[in-house]
Amino acid sequence: MEGIVGKSGLLVAMLIGILFFVSSAVGINPLYGQAAGNPPPLWSIGEKKVLFYRVDFSDYPGEPVTVASLQTLMATVNDFYLDASYGKMSLTMTYPPVLRLPQTAASYAALGNEQDVILADVRVVARNAGYDYRLFDREIVVYSAPGLLGSLAQPGGRGLWLHTPLNLRTTSHEIGHTNGALHGNLWKSTNDSINGAGSSIEYEDELDVMGGGGTYHFTAWYKSVFDWIVSSEVQTVISSGTYRLYALEDAIPVGTHALKIRRDTKRDYWVEFRNRTVDTAAMKNGVLLHWGYDVVGRGKQSELIDATPLTTGIADPTVVIGRTLSDPEVGIHITPVGKAGTTPESIDVVVNLGTFPGNGTPTVNLAADATDVGINTAVTLTATASDPDGDTLAYYWELGSGIVGSNSPTTIMIWSAAGEYVVRCTVSDMKGKTASDSVIVRVGSPTADRIGGRVTDSAGQPAWNVKVAGSFTTYDPPLFFPVTVTKIAFTDSDGVYNLVGLSSNNYTVTAQRWGYLFDPSGFANPVASGGNPTAIDFVGRVNSAPSTPGLTGPTTVMAAQIDVQTYTATSTDLETQNVSYTVDWGNSTTTQSEYRFAGEGVQVNNRWTVPGTYEIRAKATDSFGASSLWSSPMTVTVLPAIPAPTGLTTTLTSPFVVQLVWTDNSSNEDGFYIERSTSGGDAYMKWTFAGANVTGTNIGLSPATTYRFRIRAFNTQGESDPSNEVVVTTPANTPPTTPAVPSGATVPQVGTTQTYTASAMDSNGHYLYYTFEWGDGTALMTQSPTSSGQTASLAKTWSTPGTYIVRVKATDTEGASSDWSAGLAVTVVNAAPGLPSQPTGSGSLTVNQTGTFTTAATDPEGHQVQYIFDWGNGTTSTTGLYASGVSVSATNAWPAAGTYSVRVKATDQYGAASEWSASLSVQVTEQPPAAPSTLKAVAIMMTRIDLQWTDNASNESGFKVEQSNDNVNFAEVATVGANTTAYTLEGLTAATTYYYRVRAYNSTYQSAYSNTASSRTMSSSSLLTGISTRGYVGTGSNAMIGGFIITGTAPKTVLIRAKGPSFSSWMTGYLVDPYLQLYSGSTVVAQNYDWQTNDSLCLSPVVWKGTAADIQAVGVAPTNSKEAALLVTLPPGAYTAFVRGMNNGVGTGMVEVYELGSAYPSTSRLTGISTRGYVGTGSNAMIGGFIITGTMPKKVLIRAKGPSFSSWMTGYLADPYLQLYSGSTVVA
């Protein structure tokens, strides 16, 4: 657990991107009714009427969420607000029907920051449906269309936007924004210094609904902003004392809910006590600290101060009983000292204010009545402490496992598991001075390691409260991600630390404390924990300060109430630490920046409001707390502001146009700003009028709205204060009159574009848009408004014949619409094209021969025409559109012989069709099929030859196979069907040469013959037809290698197998997934795995390869689908077969080679095979098998080699021993 006191550092805030919406306009956005982040008094008190708009879009229609589900959700939201506000704020909901917005969802999404436009549009649609937003306090827009911005709101405003799906936390969070709250942030201090320099991390206060956690209560600061906690419940601490805090979640009739302690000109500490947020001992026995401050023009910001930054989660950010949090730079010391025992529950907190010069440091000695005990044995721990100034001491115990000790010098602890436990007691005089001591208690028989040592400063004095961490990196077993395991400890007042409970490993040990750097003394990382080393020491040194920053910026400016000036500060740091900057503006105010890389610099802004001369300066502070000297002063002269205009008067020259007149009191202005607001305050929209004008006209006011106007003069140096403010209220809006029946063509031809006109009057003088509804399911609005009474027009292209009712309505620029006009009946007519001419083209074709056929037709209205050709066999072809009367051709080929009638129908571009034309008769006859090619014959056995050929025809009925014994006299031996490319002949005579040829045929013709192919069946004499070797298959050079030689002059067909899985029924340790590669020299010429599903890769010089079906047909296919096999015809030469395991698998495997027939004369022989592999003992011996077929004995030579490998291999078999078995009997 990290100590709190004894640390120094700046409190520097960094405002990062905030995910809520703030109007980009200067001042007020009239959509929201008030200034961003600046709600009026009682804005969050009482019953709040909420108008819940459910909207959809023409490109994403449908109800985004049902009223029933909203009622359920908002009931829980209302319960949350009643509880959090102590019954002071409630929500009453109104749900209009689904409202269709005028633009598509895609159009809104393309705008970026589309929420302004969506809210403005939905208000118009809702008012037309009878729902006036001005009668409500909040407006919620919900939609489900993709691409639109997610849930967001305007802090302190009326409106918020929700994207489905909805939930309690998000809805409550966004309503909190409308109450004026920004996000619940976490102050992330650099180097774990708790409240030192650092940055604000958005959303990270997980104990506040405005942060990233659950639906927890708002912070005390936010409840004060909402007026839920009144001033009598907030104790502003201005003097030291003891204060009682009641739980924030409980309503109290009298008492204190929060302490407010001023930190600096920007921030206050807010201290609160919670007992319902998280059910942990630390939460229920400590206080939470936040910083609260205003973000000008945005809202109120809260930042959680995490008192335990070395832990994660929301369980223990509290300052627990007996512990002191000190901010030494400003002299604030906060210590919760104990529960008060009241109902509702409360806690007592001591606050001491001041730096207390000369304050002495207390001492403490910790003792245990036993340090080596059994499991579940009580140990009494006693802290003997004293203070040189006689100050009352607080006791903070670190006992582990989330246990919170009492604020007393004695505590009792029982451990339920074996281990070494470090117990630490820190005593505090509650004024900034602390001391600590620790003992190690051994419980049971622990086996964990320990690392210990001492930390001193450069003078050899002990360094207290230094964090020492030991860490090592391991790998998460499932995914092998690196995981860092870290143990931490803190030094006591004597500088000693102990890391206990360590697993045996090599640890990187580091030391860390704010403002210092630490170097190893007498050891080097990593440190082996075995042996429990005790001298892993460190020596500290003071961190070097950054360089004095340079400061640049404008030196002559004008006093202003709005404009800011930008200044740049830049510094470097010897240790390249990140640097924060403090700028003193010479008027008792300062600005502190976020951290930047050393040398990068930072820009800071200041608003000069009072004329005068100021000396400004800057200093830099690095991330370890060391600060530079102040820079040399920069003199800034602030000039007086421009005299403000006076005597502003306004006149409504029409219901929604105002004229302004004012008096110009300045002689050096460049022009004037006209500012307009609907809520007062500082939220104004601006219009610029150049030159020394004394009048201006502001148009486009909304009806039934109260405006406030004022004027400012400006020039290049700034702007004046505002003039007097004048209030103008516009009258209510009335809709336009209903337009008369629209005018335009009533009997247009289809495809023509006609213009239709309409007009209406508006009593308020608004410009008008007109929406024409065409009666075909479409409508169109005029793009630009026209003045009242002026005729507007729109063009319509009629694309479909029929009768339509056209009507129109008028809509003024404020969104008020008239009723629909009476309808104009429009009948759109269309005549069919004339009868197409009889198609012309070839009347005689062969099967699949393409013919071209031509026709033409004329459309009486000159429309474009397309043609449908009926080919007389149940198929048609449709052309594109062509000009009327143009000859058009289409092609067709018939797949079957016969007589066909070709006819044509014409259809114009609007769908009117002619009758069918006269027919053209087409005679289609057969054509000869193409001859097959590349015929091959392969002898597989003594009585079988397999044929393969290439099918080159597309119109054959089948193939005829002919056979000859002399290559002269052929006889037909088989007929096969169309698209067949192989045939097997069986029952042949052994050792006989056969010749074959193939031809295609159809109903009319026969093709030419293919090439002639021959093969000789195998001899019936004895042959060495197969040999195999079984042994261990390893990786790399331990792969199983089998070599064989084909002699002679012609290719030879062989089957090569790699086995392993088929041994599973009688062997363990078999090769699970063999992978077979065939080499010719050093080149892979064939490879295979999973022989049934993976086609073999074969390259030159392989003459032929067999498929899985071919392998199955030869009768010696593998019995397991995971095994590998190659059926190939190879030219004479030496070959090597390598057997490995897929994915580097290992185990016992077998390589086999079988001699088969050939597509060539049998002058070639498989004369030898050799296998190289690992030779073990027992079942790991190398086993080779072979087969002799036929009826006669066969002479073979069998060798076992090893020593001859000695010149090029290590690990060779030194003394081979060879046995030949027939069955289970040794025969040689």
For the residues of 378-428, what is the DSSP string, one character each? EEEEEEEEE-TT----EEEEE-STT-B--SSSEEEEE-SS-EEEEEEEEEE
Last-in-domain residue among 957, 984, 1016: 1016
Identify whether residues 849 and 809 lie together within a single domain: no
Q: Which of 1137, 1135, 999 lies closest to 1059 in space, CA to CA?
A: 1137
CATH number, domain containing residue 776: 2.60.40
What are residue 1105's DSSP bridge partners? 1128
- DSSP three-state, residue 105: helix
Task: Report the C-alpha gap between 1135 and 434 in whole angstroms.
Answer: 84
Is residue 475, in this structure, part of any structural domain at all?
Answer: no
What integer is the mean pLDDT of 831-838?
A: 94
**Run of H or E residues at 1061:** none
- pLDDT score at 6: 26
- Convert the pLDDT of each residue in 318-362 to its tens digit: 999 999 999 988 999 999 999 999 999 999 999 999 999 999 999
- pLDDT score at 904: 97
Residue 546 has pLDDT above 60, yes or no: yes
Residue 767 has pLDDT above 70, yes or no: yes
CA 28 to chain CA centroid, nearest Å: 35
- pLDDT score at 839: 96
- Convert the pLDDT of each residue in 6-37 to its tens digit: 222 222 222 222 233 333 222 233 333 344 45
Identify whether residues 897 and 1032 lie together within a single domain: no
Structure tokens at 613: 């001369």
Identify whether residues 161 and 71 lie together within a single domain: yes
The C-alpha angle with vertex 425 and arms to 408 and 506, in degrees rounded to 5, equals: 155
- pLDDT score at 759: 96
Contacts of 684 (CB under 8 A, 6+ apart): 26, 27, 28, 675, 676, 677, 710
The residue length of the chain stands at 1228
Residue 562 has pLDDT above 80, yes or no: no
Confidence of residue 310 (pLDDT cuts 50, 70, 90): low
Is residue 903, in this structure, part of any structural domain at all?
Answer: yes
- DSSP three-state, residue 851: strand
Helix, strand counts (H, E) of the chain: 7, 84
Task: Report the C-alpha gap between 784 and 793 in whole angstroms.
Answer: 11
Strands 332-339 and 363-368: unpaired
What integer is the mean pLDDT of 941-947?
A: 82
Identify whether residues 188 and 172 lie together within a single domain: no
| Integer-rounded Cα radius of gyration of the chain | 47
Is residue 396, in this structure, part of any structural domain at all?
Answer: no
Is residue 1208, in this structure, part of any structural domain at all?
Answer: yes
What are residue 944's DSSP bridge partners? 941, 986
Task: Report the C-alpha gap between 276 and 523 in whole angstroms.
Answer: 49
Identify whether residues 271 and 294 lie together within a single domain: yes
- pLDDT score at 231: 92
Give me the number of domains the chain comprises: 8
DSSP class per residue in 665-679? --SS-SEEEEEEESS
- pLDDT score at 191: 58
Task: Report the C-alpha gap between 605 and 585 in whole angstroms.
Answer: 10
- pLDDT score at 1179: 67
98 vs 1160: which has the higher pLDDT: 98
Of 252-256, 434-438, 639-643, 965-969, the range with the lowest mean pLDDT is 639-643
Task: Report the C-alpha gap between 581 and 596 in whole angstroms.
Answer: 9
- DSSP three-state, residue 178: helix
Is residue 533, in this structure, part of any structural domain at all?
Answer: no
Of 134-143, 242-251, 940-949, the range with the lowest mean pLDDT is 940-949
Residue 1156 has pLDDT above 90, yes or no: no
Identify whether residues 284 and 334 lie together within a single domain: yes
**Run of H or E residues at 468:** strand 467-475
Contacts of 826 (CB under 8 A, 6+ apart): 744, 745, 746, 747, 748, 775, 798, 803, 804, 805, 806
Identify whether residues 193 and 318 lie together within a single domain: yes
Q: Are 1057 and 1106 in contact (CB under 8 A)?
A: no
Identify whether residues 898 and 867 lie together within a single domain: yes
Residue 819 has pLDDT above 70, yes or no: yes
Residue 1053 has pLDDT above 60, yes or no: yes
What integer is the mean pLDDT of 962-991?
A: 92
Last-in-domain residue among 154, 178, 202: 178
Of 146-160, 625-639, 894-908, 1145-1159, the range with the lowest mean pLDDT is 1145-1159
Q: Are 1060 and 1032 in contact (CB under 8 A)?
A: no
Report CA dihedral (605, 611, 613, 614) to the nearest 10 degrees.
Answer: -30
Buried-state track 1097-1108, b at ≥16 Cβ within 10 A, e below 16: ebeeebbbbbeb
- Convert the pLDDT of each residue in 566-586 to its tens digit: 999 999 998 888 898 999 999
Q: Which of 532, 500, 506, 534 lies closest to 419 in space, CA to CA?
A: 500
Strands 634-639 and 612-622: antiparallel
Residue 1021 has pLDDT above 80, yes or no: no
- Region of 125 (left: φ > 0; alpha: ψ -120 to 50; beta: rest) is alpha
Task: Report the C-alpha gap between 746 and 806 in whole angstroms.
Answer: 10
- Convert the pLDDT of each residue in 271-304 to its tens digit: 999 988 777 888 889 999 999 988 866 788 999 9
The sign one gets for the Cα dihedral 1091, 1093, 1096, 1097 is negative
Which domain does 1156 fall in, by range? 1023-1226
575 vs 630: which has the higher pLDDT: 630
CATH number, domain containing residue 698: 2.60.40.10
Q: What single-letter amino acid sits at 496?
A: V
Is residue 324, in this structure, part of any structural domain at all?
Answer: yes
In degrees and rounded to multiples of 5, residue 415 shows phi and psi of -105, 135
Query: Which long-range contacts does 104-110 make (Cβ < 8 Å, 24+ apart)?
Result: 104/57, 104/58, 104/59, 104/60, 105/57, 105/59, 105/60, 105/143, 105/145, 105/146, 105/147, 105/148, 106/59, 106/147, 108/57, 108/148, 109/145, 109/147, 109/148
DSSP-based helix, strand, coil % in the chain, nearest 5: 5, 45, 50
What integer is the mean pLDDT of 718-747?
A: 89
What integer is the mean pLDDT of 1184-1192?
A: 68
The sign one gets for the Cα dihedral 405, 409, 413, 418 is positive
Is residue 1036, in this structure, part of any structural domain at all?
Answer: yes
Buried-state track 698-721, b at ≥16 Cβ within 10 A, e below 16: beebebebebbbbbbbbeebbbbe
Last-in-domain residue among 161, 178, 195: 178
Residue 696 has pLDDT above 80, yes or no: no
Residue 311 has pLDDT above 80, yes or no: no
Identify whether residues 941 and 960 lie together within a single domain: yes
In degrees and rounded to multiples of 5, residue 370 shows phi and psi of -155, 140
Confidence of residue 1164 (pLDDT cuts 50, 70, 90): low
What are residue 581's DSSP bridge partners? 620
- pLDDT score at 304: 92
- Convert the pLDDT of each residue in 1209-1223 to its tens digit: 777 788 888 888 887
Alpha-carbon distances of 650 from 659, 676, 699, 1101, rounded to whole Å: 6, 12, 13, 101
- Mean pLDDT, rounded, of the chain: 86
Is residue 98, in this structure, part of any structural domain at all?
Answer: yes
Segments in 725-845 forming alpha helices (H): none
% of the chain with per-residue pLDDT over 70:
91
CATH number, domain containing residue 124: 3.40.390
- pLDDT score at 336: 97
- DSSP three-state, residue 108: helix
Residue 761 has pLDDT above 70, yes or no: yes
- Convert the pLDDT of each residue in 905-927 to its tens digit: 999 989 899 999 999 999 998 88
- Convert the pLDDT of each residue in 1092-1118 to its tens digit: 887 777 887 887 888 888 888 877 789
Identify whether residues 945 and 876 lie together within a single domain: no
Going by the DSSP 8-state scheme, the letter that residue 119 receives in this structure is: H
Going by the DSSP 8-state scheme, the letter that residue 266 receives in this structure is: S
Identify whether residues 204 and 232 lie together within a single domain: yes
Identify whether residues 921 and 790 lie together within a single domain: no
What integer is the mean pLDDT of 899-907?
A: 96
- pLDDT score at 13: 25
Place of tokens 């095994």: 1123
